[in-house]
């Protein structure tokens, strides 16, 4: 993924600091670097779902490691975004089990509906559509990932409804919901 | 043949919570092990059970445990591999999502057996909601005294945490997983040294799959000998299979090892046969890396015996006419599937997921994707088929970790069993222009157009 020079407002507030400290406490005191991946997730979630170079530098400073140690991790893992993306990123699984159950057609439908090509973001900054590799929902295909959640057994109608819900601000990206 | 070991309580309302899990006999194995067994006795039970690693390699779990270095005096760690990413596999997610305390109980009992005081569950970043479920369950286990200092007054301490990855199939390889847990890129390490000697932070480490660890409580409660009574030969116990593709009832199933593939495929209790009753064209029984079986080798082996859901039977015939149980990712394909397109799809996956350390894998996966893409899109050449065969052969066995093999095997099997389909793509480019070409006109109907060549192919 290309690196962006867009400016990002950095805000490590008290709640985020407390969460970072909690994650750091899961590893021995001399192994703070181990907390890097979980911390990057939290920091990204709190910053419009992307990590600018300045924000990565800030993470390095908090953990006490060199900036390059953060850069090389951010550039390796697909879930870290190095440029601004849409508020709602529809990540369609495109691997075999989903592909044979119609994920390619459904992603095409979604792109056409939103007026974007795969990998692009809508002009209003609300939606990004991307194809990703196997998400471990093969029996519930076709499906997509949105924030911390999976949307499975998808149909065109369900995608339409999901887009409407996003536009109406009814979709929580990172809230834990445990259903019994 | 349906012993329920892992999913026994899966449908109990509220089983996700500590209270309900405990009311249903949860955490008994921790009490039994800590109060009445030595760590080595727990290891012996697991050895006796014959439990084999459920992540894909099938290595005996008890033997893996016995390799952990206890002489160095360094801290030891148990790391659970919950980086489930093999296409077709979604069984570990099911266990963690619906019965999170079973894995936590297994982690505690297993950590006791290995003499660990600090253990981790490494879960793939995409399973973020499951990460939160596990975090909550771990907090409950701490609050109830199953984790922390001086557990059950025995003087043994254990800390357990869940750690999330961030989107990298390669982190399911145990040394890449350890690198990632150390906050680095997921580049596999050269072995030896093995993790049992030098793993997490250079300490002795055992890495086990979610399903393997989740079987330990039952083994401790009921003995390894009882576990070994289930199954056939060296395939003991029960196994989770995650079924997907063109079957009637996709989902996660627990079966006794040794059921016939025919029963699993066709019984209403399991997959219920084919979706829309279309013909079965191919089966991948153990995740995308293992060879695809053509229809005539699915229910019977080449020797004419019933194909069983066991490590041995699924591998019967080697790669020439068999496959592998792998991770239990059971992918069913009907006659509308294009094997060329599906193989290209897998090659794109492996190219995307190659970490890039070893040239044969970094370059070779890309070449395979490119060649398959042009065949699938009507620009293939006759010699491309042998070219593909050559590339996959030069990747296999020539890389630090098994991702290279995993990328090579599906290509080899596709050419081995479906070569005429590749030839059709090369010779009739105008007939494959629509990506759903075999949905519109299954290959069976046009197969006669491919005239068998007299020349001997390399494959």
pLDDT digits (tens, 9 = 90+) for B72-96: 999 999 999 999 999 999 999 999 9
Q: Is A111 labeled as ligand-binding?
A: no
Token readout for A45 is 């979630």
**Which of A35, A78, A97 minimises the CB distance to B245?**
A97
Angstrom CA distances, A72 to A4, A60, B401, stand at: 16, 12, 21
Pick the CATH number of B18-226 from 1.10.287.3510, 3.40.50.10680, 2.70.160.11, 3.40.50.11540: 3.40.50.11540
**Residues of chain B with C-beta less than 8 angstroms from the C-beta of A140:** 90, 250
pLDDT in the model for residue B457: 52
Q: Do A136 and B90 touch (CB under 8 A)?
A: yes
Facing residue for A136 by CB, picked from B85, B136, B345? B85
How close A64 gets to chain B, by Cα (Å)?
13
Q: Do domains A14-74 and A88-167 have the same CATH topology?
A: no
Q: Which residues of B touch A28 (CB under 8 A)?
A: 118, 201
- Joined together, the tokens standing for residue B451 give 């005239």
- Min Cα–Cα distance to chain A from B167, Å: 5
**Of B166, B181, B345, which is closest to A34 when you measure between CB atoms?**
B181
CA–CA separation, B372 vs B342, rounded Å?
Answer: 10
Residue B12: half-sphere exposure toward Cβ, Cα within 13 Å: 18
- Across the A/B interface, how many CB contacts are shorter than 8 Å? 155
Q: Quick one: residue B245, left, alpha or beta (phi over 0 = left, psi -120 to 50 = alpha)?
A: left
- How close A137 gets to chain B, by Cα (Å)? 6
Q: Do B169 and A134 touch (CB under 8 A)?
A: yes
- Hey, what are B343's tokens? 């193989």
Contact A37 B88 (CB under 8 A): no
Cα B344 to Cα A96, B376, B429, distances in angstroms: 9, 8, 16
pLDDT confidence of residue B199: 98
Radius of gyration of chain A (CA): 18
Instruction: Say yes or no for a CB contact (<8 Å) between B126 and A76.
Output: no
CATH architecture under which domain B232-334 falls: Roll (3.10)
Residues of chain A with pLDDT under 70: 1-2, 176-180
Chain A residue closest in CA terms to B160: A26
* Cβ within 8 Å, pair B331-A97: yes
The answer for residues whose C-beta is within 8 angstroms of residue B160's C-beta and 6 or more apart is B104, B107, B108, B111, B119, B120, B121, B138, B141, B147
User: Which of chain A's residues have a Cβ under 8 Å away from the Cβ of B126?
Assistant: 79, 135-136, 145
Which CATH entry fits the domain spanning B339-449: 1.20.1290.10, 3.40.718.10, 1.20.1440.230, 1.10.3720.10? 1.20.1440.230
Cβ–Cβ gap A80/B166 under 8 Å: yes
Which residues, in sequence order, are CB contacts of A151 under 8 Å at separation 6+? Answer: A143, A144, A145, A158, A162
Question: Exposed, middle or buried, B445 (CB in 10 Å: 0-12/13-18/19+)?
Answer: exposed
Degrees to nearest 5, angle at CA B5 with A136 and B285: 40
The minimal CB distance from A41 to the residues B166, B169, B246 is found for: B166
Q: Which fold has domain A14-74?
A: Arc Repressor Mutant, subunit A (1.10.10)
Q: What is the pLDDT of residue B454?
A: 45
Which residue is associated with the tokens 């907090």? B139
How near does any CA of chain A get to the CA of B84, in Å?
7
pLDDT for res B185 = 98
List the one residue out of B168, B87, B161 whose CA is nearest residue B125: B168
B244, B246, B271, B437: best mutation site toward chain A, by most A Cβ within 10 Å?
Answer: B244
Query: What integer pLDDT is reported at residue B223 of this predicted model?
Result: 98
pLDDT at A174: 86
Q: Inspect the interface and report whether the beta carbons of B125 and A104 lie closer than 8 Å.
A: no
Per-domain residue ranges of chain A = 14-74, 88-167
Q: Do B88 and A138 touch (CB under 8 A)?
A: yes
Q: Which option is the CATH number for A88-167: 3.30.930.10, 3.80.30.20, 3.40.30.10, 3.40.50.1980?
A: 3.40.30.10
**Record: contact A96-B126, CB cut-off 8 A:** no
Tell me the pLDDT tens digit for each residue of B258-290.
Answer: 999 999 999 999 999 999 999 999 999 999 999
- In sequence order, the β-bridge partners of residue A88 are A127
Residue A78 to residue B180: CA distance in whole angstroms: 13
Low-confidence ranges of chain B (pLDDT < 70): 1, 452-459
As a whole number of angstroms, the distance between CA A115 and CA A108 comes to: 10
pTM: 0.96
A79, A99, A149: residue with CB nearest B166: A79
Nearest CA in chain B to A148: B128
- Distances from the Cα of A131 to the Cα of A65, A82, A94, B348, B352, angstroms: 33, 17, 6, 12, 12
For CATH 3.10.20.600, the residue range(s) in chain B are: 232-334
> Are B337 and A101 inside 8 Å of each other by CB?
no
Facing residue for B245 by CB, picked from A28, A100, A177: A100
How close, in Å, is residue A162 to chain B by CA atoms? 19
Rounded to whole angstroms, the Cα distance separating B53 from B172 reads: 13
A97 is in an annotated binding site: no
- Look up the ipTM and state it: 0.96
- Please report which helix (H) or strand (E) contains residue B235, including its range: strand B235-236
Backbone angles phi and psi of A145, in degrees to 5: -105, 135
């Amino acid at each position: 993924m290309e690196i962006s020079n867009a400016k990002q407002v950095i805000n490590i507030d008290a709640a985020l600091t407390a969460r970072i400290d909690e994650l750091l406490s899961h590893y021995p005191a001399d192994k703070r670097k181990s907390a890097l991946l979980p911390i990057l997730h939290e920091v990204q979630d709190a910053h419009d779902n992307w990590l600018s170079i300045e924000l990565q530098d800030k993470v390095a400073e908090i953990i006490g490691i060199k900036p390059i140690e953060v850069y090389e991790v951010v550039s390796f893992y697909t879930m870290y975004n190095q440029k601004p993306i849409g508020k709602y990123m529809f990540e369609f699984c495109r691997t075999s089990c989903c592909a044979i159950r119609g994920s390619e057609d459904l992603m095409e439908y979604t792109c056409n509906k939103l007026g974007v090509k795969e990998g692009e973001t809508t002009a209003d900054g609300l939606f990004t559509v991307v194809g990703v590799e196997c998400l471990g929902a093969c029996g519930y295909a076709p499906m997509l990932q949105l924030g911390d959640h999976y949307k499975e057994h998808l149909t065109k109608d369900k995608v339409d409804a999901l887009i409407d819900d996003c536009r109406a601000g009814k979709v929580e990206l990172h809230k834990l919901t445990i259903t019994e | 043949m349906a012993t329920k070991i892992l999913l026994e309580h899966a449908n109990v309302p509220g089983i996700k919570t500590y209270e309900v899990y405990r009311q249903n006999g949860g955490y008994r194995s921790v009490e039994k092990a800590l109060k009445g067994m030595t760590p080595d006795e727990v290891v012996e039970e697991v050895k006796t059970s014959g439990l084999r690693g459920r992540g894909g390699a099938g290595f005996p779990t008890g033997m893996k445990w016995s390799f952990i270095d206890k002489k160095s005096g360094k801290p030891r760690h148990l790391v659970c591999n919950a980086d489930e990413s093999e296409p077709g596999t979604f069984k570990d997610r099911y266990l963690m999502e619906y019965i999170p305390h079973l894995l936590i109980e297994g982690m505690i009992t297993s950590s006791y057996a290995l003499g660990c005081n600090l253990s981790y569950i490494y879960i793939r970043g995409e399973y973020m909601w499951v990460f939160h479920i596990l975090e909550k369950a771990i907090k409950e286990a701490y609050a109830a005294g199953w984790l922390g200092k001086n557990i059950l007054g025995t003087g043994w301490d254990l800390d357990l945490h869940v750690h999330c990855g961030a989107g990298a199939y390669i982190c399911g390889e145990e040394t890449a997983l350890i690198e990632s847990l150390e906050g680095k890129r997921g580049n596999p390490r050269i072995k030896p040294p093995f993790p049992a000697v030098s793993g997490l932070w250079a300490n002795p480490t055992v890495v086990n799959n979610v399903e393997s660890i989740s079987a330990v409580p039952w083994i401790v409660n009921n003995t390894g000998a009882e576990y070994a009574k289930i199954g056939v030969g060296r395939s003991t116990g029960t196994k989770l299979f995650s079924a997907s593709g063109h079957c009637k009832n996709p989902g996660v199933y627990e079966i006794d090892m040794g059921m016939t593939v025919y029963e699993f495929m066709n019984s209403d209790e399991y997959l219920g046969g084919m979706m829309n009753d279309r013909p079965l064209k191919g089966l991948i029984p153990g995740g995308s890396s293992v060879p695809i079986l053509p229809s005539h080798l699915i229910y019977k082996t080449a020797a004419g015996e019933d194909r069983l859901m066991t490590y041995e039977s699924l591998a019967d015939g080697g790669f020439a006419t068999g496959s592998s149980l792998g991770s239990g990712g059971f992918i069913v394909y009907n006659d509308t599937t294009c094997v060329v397109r599906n193989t290209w799809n897998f090659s794109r996956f492996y190219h995307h997921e190659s970490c890039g350390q070893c040239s044969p894998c970094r370059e070779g996966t890309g070449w395979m994707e490119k060649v398959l893409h042009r065949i699938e899109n009507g620009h293939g050449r006759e010699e491309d088929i042998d070219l593909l065969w050559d590339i996959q052969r030069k990747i296999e066995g020539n890389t630090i970790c098994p991702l290279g093999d995993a990328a090579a095997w599906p290509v080899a099997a596709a050419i081995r069993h479906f070569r005429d389909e590749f030839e059709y793509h090369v010779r009739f480019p105008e007939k494959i222009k629509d990506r759903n070409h075999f949905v519109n006109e299954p290959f069976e109907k046009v197969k006669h157009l491919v005239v068998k060549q007299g020349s001997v192919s390399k494959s």
